[in-house]
């Protein structure tokens, strides 16, 4: 196959016929059996990912199931994981083992995804295709499942889900945060990958055209491509604008409250609130309540809808029965919704903050703990109500409010009001409650919240990617109402929902597309302009940035150093750093680069050699007939050094190859590397010096000769020889230090111990009537 044909093949997704023929159910019990056989002890995630467990258990299972090339195998792993998670919650005695098996299923899913990474479309199909867990099952299995569920309808048994949806349902955060899965999620979020989703309970189902998985190309797309409204990236922006409109109408409704009639701003708010509630209901029906409520932002949305419904109920009662108190109560309840709506809009900007990510878990822990505390202290509430005098002011409401005040730190009330309940039991009960609430229970609550935050902070990246995946899947909805922006979704619901009962699929699809393009015409035009000219062709954006940068560079230096402009345009140092790496490589001189790493083979010569080894191991091996007299070398003028005398002397010691080349011939000479003898020194007009005696003197003498490149001065050589002799004498004195004597004494003690052990061994043999004579070692 040629390259072009292969590229076209990579852009084609699996056909619907192939996906419908994939068997899913036969692999579920088989994988469950393999996992049970391999894991029979409680292992942590780190132990399961260790090298020994990986090579012994994980890799054989991965190779076994990767060989079949079944695209539903990742979904199967997550289904089996859900089974073991349920077993861990149901059987606490073997919860650790079931949890380890669930971890193994998640590891298998992560590794099996890698085997589909060669084909991008196939990888998307593996993660996003909705699989039926009973696909490929026999009729007997299907009938038994129906009997277990207690249903006779096939639609109730068939509940397809994708691998990503199963990962969210089983909270497989490590699988979701893996690079390949996040690559697919990012492609779906930005709209680079387009596919049609299967909805389990759509309100208005437009199933006339099922879209296959494809790579989106904006150059070939139409200007009014209504499918781009379902891209999660654009959906998030439109959702923010919808929330802003809802917040504005909410503020106007409370600002112009009228208990006797409906104000126009109140009617406008009710329209936007109804559209918002319909959108949230559509989202919950699309992927199920489990996935919908897994997004912590949907909890805020649902709470606001509940507050709005209570407000509507009170408002209807107030207008129907002419009850201003009910209308006032409704507006007061609606005002409490600002505590939900304002933070919800602000969270769009800081959605990836670790505090925001931990807010849901901390809120759940706080509500759970407060519920337990309320149940525990309900007995104290009843006791105080019973002890209180019958004609006193202490009602159930007043006592409850008193306990709440004490719980949150108002401890002086417990001592001031204790005797009003009972002169003896009142102070005892109130003091015990104050001690428990302010010292013990609040400390436990703070510890629980701190541990929850620390746990979320440790896995903040996984939690963020988990929430990001949920938002992405929620954005890919197939319900026709999702393409309409509030409040136009109410208009579409009023028309399309009744028409779906009698209109043909083609007619319904035509009407749906026309209404989407009519109501979202400006939005579709802006998206097309962005994708065709700004996103795929960044020339306009780059030219704008270049013009701004050139304008900034033309400003005088005092204006460029202003903090505001420097923060916007960046510092000059950053521009210099970027410009350095953009310099053309051809402008750099190759000769300069070569000089940076110039290599001289003579630098690798070993310095720790004696004179004899230098003579035999030099680079230029001397021949017997090529001994050069020192007079053949030019004299070198050496500068004065401290302690070497005042004058300058001519040094005619031959240079070593390390020190430099001899001037007078461009070629290397075969020079003997032996030290100058006394005769050589006398012929050169120097005082004879004693030959090196010790190894240290030979070492440092050789380094000195190599460094100076000439014969040393006689006075300096004498001082060096004298210094070397002193160092040698010091080394001899080291042997007489106490450390050396201690070593000798320890050696002597070891020898004595060995002789004593030999004598004891000989005596014990005599006591055992062992007449085999002592060995030679024993006699020692």
| Residue that has been written with the tokens 């004299």 in this structure | 635
CB contact at 8 A, 221 and 192: no
CB count in 10 Å sphere of residue 231: 23
pLDDT of amino acid 767 = 61
What is the Cβ-side half-sphere exposure of residue 258, based on CA atoms within 13 angstroms?
Answer: 10
Please tell me the least confidently modeled range out of 68-82, 196-210, 526-540, 581-595: 581-595
Please state whether the predicted TM-score (pTM) of the whole model is above 0.95: no
Q: At what angle do helices 232-255 and 264-287 cross, to 10 degrees?
A: 150
pLDDT of amino acid 4 = 35
Q: Does the pLDDT at position 718 exceed 50? A: yes
pLDDT of amino acid 598 = 59
Q: Does the pLDDT at position 439 exceed 60? A: yes
CB count in 10 Å sphere of residue 133: 20
Structure token digits, residue 607? 């310095």
Tell me what the mean pLDDT of segment 598-608 comes to.
Answer: 53
Q: Does the pLDDT at position 121 exceed 60? A: yes
Percent of the chain predicted with pLDDT > 90: 19
pLDDT of amino acid 88 = 92
pLDDT tens profile 152-186 = 666 656 778 889 989 998 999 999 999 999 999 99
**Mind spelling out the 3-state secondary structure of 676-707?**
CCHHHHHHCCCCCCCCCCCHHHHHHHHHHHHH
Tell me what the mean pLDDT of segment 483-505 comes to.
Answer: 85
pLDDT of amino acid 679 = 44
Please tell me the least confidently modeled range out of 225-234, 532-541, 659-668: 659-668
Tell me what the mean pLDDT of segment 36-40 comes to.
Answer: 92
pLDDT of amino acid 732 = 74
Comparing 320 with 690, the larger pLDDT belongs to 320
pLDDT of amino acid 293 = 76
Rg (CA), the chain: 44
CB contact at 8 A, 778 and 761: yes
Q: Does the pLDDT at position 667 exceed 50? A: no
Comparing 3 with 115, the larger pLDDT belongs to 115
pLDDT of amino acid 689 = 44
Comparing 754 with 767, the larger pLDDT belongs to 754
Percent of the chain predicted with pLDDT > 70: 68
CB contact at 8 A, 655 and 709: yes
Q: Does the pLDDT at position 108 exceed 90? A: yes
Cα–Cα distance for residue pair 685/649, rounded to 1 Å: 10
Whether omega for the bond prior to residue 769 falls within 30 degrees of 0, making it cis, is no
Q: 328 vs 247, 250, 311, 425, 561, CA distance in Å?
A: 20, 16, 10, 43, 57
Q: 239 vs 209, 348, 484, 512, CA distance in Å?
A: 26, 10, 11, 21
pLDDT tens profile 637-665 = 444 444 444 444 434 334 444 334 444 44
Q: Does the pLDDT at position 15 exceed 90? A: no
pLDDT of amino acid 12 = 56
Average pLDDT, the chain: 75
pLDDT of amino acid 421 = 84
pLDDT tens profile 732-764 = 776 666 666 777 788 888 888 888 888 887 777
CB contact at 8 A, 273 and 267: no
| Residue that has been written with the tokens 């409370």 in this structure | 254
Cα–Cα distance for residue pair 756/759, rounded to 1 Å: 5
Tell me what the mean pLDDT of segment 440-458 comes to.
Answer: 79
pLDDT of amino acid 269 = 94
């Amino acid at each position: 196959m040629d390259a072009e044909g292969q590229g076209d093949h990579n852009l084609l997704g699996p056909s619907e016929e192939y996906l419908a023929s994939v068997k899913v159910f036969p692999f579920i019990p088989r994988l469950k059996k393999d996992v049970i056989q391999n894991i029979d002890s409680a292992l942590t995630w780190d132990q399961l990912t260790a090298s020994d467990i990986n090579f012994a258990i994980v890799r054989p299972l991965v190779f076994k199931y990767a060989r079949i090339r079944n695209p539903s195998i990742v979904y199967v792993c997550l289904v089996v994981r859900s089974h073991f998670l349920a077993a861990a919650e149901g059987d606490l005695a073997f919860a650790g083992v079931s949890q380890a098996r669930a971890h193994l299923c998640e590891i298998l899913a992560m590794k099996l995804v890698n085997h589909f990474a060669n084909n991008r479309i196939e990888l998307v199909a593996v993660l996003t295709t909705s699989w039926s867990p009973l696909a490929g099952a026999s009729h007997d299995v299907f009938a038994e499942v129906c009997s277990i569920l207690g249903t006779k309808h096939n639609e109730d048994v068939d509940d397809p889900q994708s691998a990503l949806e199963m990962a969210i349902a089983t909270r497989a955060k490590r699988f979701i945060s893996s690079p390949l899965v996040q690559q697919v999620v990012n492609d779906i979020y930005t709209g680079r990958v387009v596919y049609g989703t299967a909805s389990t309970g759509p309100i208005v189902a437009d199933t006339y055209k099922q879209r296959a998985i494809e790579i989106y190309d904006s150059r070939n797309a139409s200007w009014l491509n209504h499918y781009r409204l379902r891209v999660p990236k654009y959906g998030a922006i439109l959702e923010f604008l919808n929330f802003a409109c809802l917040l504005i109408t909410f503020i106007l409704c409370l600002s112009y409250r009228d208990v006797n009639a409906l104000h126009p701003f109140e009617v406008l708010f009710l329209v936007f609130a109804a559209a918002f509630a319909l959108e949230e209901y559509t989202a919950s029906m699309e992927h199920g309540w489990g996935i919908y409520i897994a997004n912590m932002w949907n909890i805020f949305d649902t709470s606001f809808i509940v507050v709005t419904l209570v407000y509507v109920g009170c408002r209807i009662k107030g207008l129907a029965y002419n009850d201003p108190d009910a209308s006032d109560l409704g507006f007061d309840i609606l005002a409490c919704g600002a505590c939900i709506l304002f933070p919800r809009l602000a969270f769009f900007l800081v959605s990836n903050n670790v505090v925001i990510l931990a807010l849901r878990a901390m809120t759940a822990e706080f509500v759970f703990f407060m519920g337990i505390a309320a149940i525990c202290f309900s007995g104290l509430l009843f006791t105080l109500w019973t002890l209180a005098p019958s004609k006193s002011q202490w009602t159930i409401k007043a006592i409850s409010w008193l306990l709440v005040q004490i719980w949150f730190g108002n401890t002086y009330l417990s001592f001031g009001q204790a005797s009003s309940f009972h002169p003896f039991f009142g102070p005892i009960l109130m003091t015990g409650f104050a001690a428990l609430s302010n010292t013990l229970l609040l400390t436990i609550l703070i510890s629980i919240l701190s541990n929850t935050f620390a746990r979320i902070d440790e896995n903040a990246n996984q939690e963020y990617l988990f929430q990001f995946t949920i938002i992405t899947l929620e954005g890919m909805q197939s319900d026709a109402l999702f393409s309409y922006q509030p409040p136009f979704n109410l208009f579409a619901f009023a028309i399309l929902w009744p028409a779906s009962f009698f209109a043909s699929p083609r007619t319904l699809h035509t009407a749906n597309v026309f209404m989407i393009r009519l109501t979202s015409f400006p939005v579709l035009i802006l998206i097309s302009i962005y994708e065709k000219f700004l996103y795929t062709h960044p020339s306009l954006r780059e030219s704008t940035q270049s013009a701004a940068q050139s304008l900034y560079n033309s400003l005088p230096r005092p204006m460029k150093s202003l903090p505001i402009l420097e923060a916007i345009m960046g510092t000059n140092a950053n521009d210099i750093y970027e410009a350095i790496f953009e310099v053309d490589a051809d402008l750099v001189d190759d000769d300069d680069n070569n000089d940076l790493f110039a290599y001289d083979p003579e630098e690798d010569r070993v310095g720790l050699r004696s004179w004899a080894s230098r003579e035999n191991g030099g680079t230029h091996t001397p021949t017997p007939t090529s001994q050069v007299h020192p007079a053949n070398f030019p004299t070198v003028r050496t500068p004065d050094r401290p302690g070497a005398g005042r004058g300058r002397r001519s040094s005619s010691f031959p240079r070593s190859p390390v020190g430099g080349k001899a001037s007078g011939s461009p070629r290397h000479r075969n020079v003997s590397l032996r030290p100058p003898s006394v005769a050589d020194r006398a012929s050169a007009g120097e005082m004879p010096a004693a030959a090196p005696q010790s190894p240290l003197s030979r070492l440092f003498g050789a380094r000195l000769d190599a460094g100076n490149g000439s014969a040393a001065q006689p006075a300096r050589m004498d001082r060096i020889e004298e210094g070397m002799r002193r160092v040698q004498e010091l080394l001899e004195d080291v042997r007489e230090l106490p450390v050396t004597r201690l070593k000798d004494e320890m050696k002597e003690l070891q020898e004595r111990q060995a002789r004593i052990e030999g004598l004891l061994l000989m005596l014990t043999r005599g006591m055992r009537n062992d007449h085999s004579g002592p060995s030679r070692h024993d006699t020692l």
